Chains A and B, each alone.
Chain A
């Protein structure tokens, strides 16, 4: 079956702009989690959505937000981009939730200039 897909794969934005990233989970999975990966901080948890409800949230500022649609597809939005937001953004889907087996997508590489 098809894996987790993320679009776009690469993105270049200017400081101050906003960006929306998209994640399509594996068919039947109701949980989508988002992570930020940088060389300095490693992988950091952003938030998890399950059946359109945010279930868990990491320690990121309010500029980072997300939502999940009724078909389980999820979007993540970052407003007022900062240089430090440059990272690989990964989403993962799970049948039962992030506390169980998760399948990661290939990520979206965001560069903020």
Chain B
């Protein structure tokens, strides 16, 4: 069964304390892996798309990497404004379906 699992479910960091969020997937025919940020009461905000193993993308304090089985979202020296739920999704299969993880709720404490 196609599945996307994110860990940890919740993460509390001190401002400046770097960490990584994990997204592991078991799907057939991966077409792309996506990272989104979602703030309470809002729709998700696109962060990155990764298409093949070994690919990396960076944006400000965020860096996303992809292997054949998982992706990491590295957060370097986070700030309180980075507090949000981070969602991972994959597009896969013959029907090009999207599968979302349940997210990691990140809290950055000043």
Contact = CB atoms under 8 A, between A and B. Distances in A.
Nearest to A88: B43
A49 B43 CA distance: 19
B49 A101 contact: yes
Instruction: Provide the main secondary structure of the chain B interface.
Output: strand
Instruction: Provide the main secondary structure of the chain A interface.
Output: strand
Contact of B97 (A45, A103, A105): A45
Contact of B43 (A42, A45, A105): A105
B44 A100 contact: no
- Categorize the interface residue count of chain B: 20 to 34
Contacts of A43: 44, 87, 89, 100
Nearest to B4: A42
Interface in B30-51: 31-32, 36, 41-46, 49
A106 B97 CA distance: 22
B100 A56 contact: no
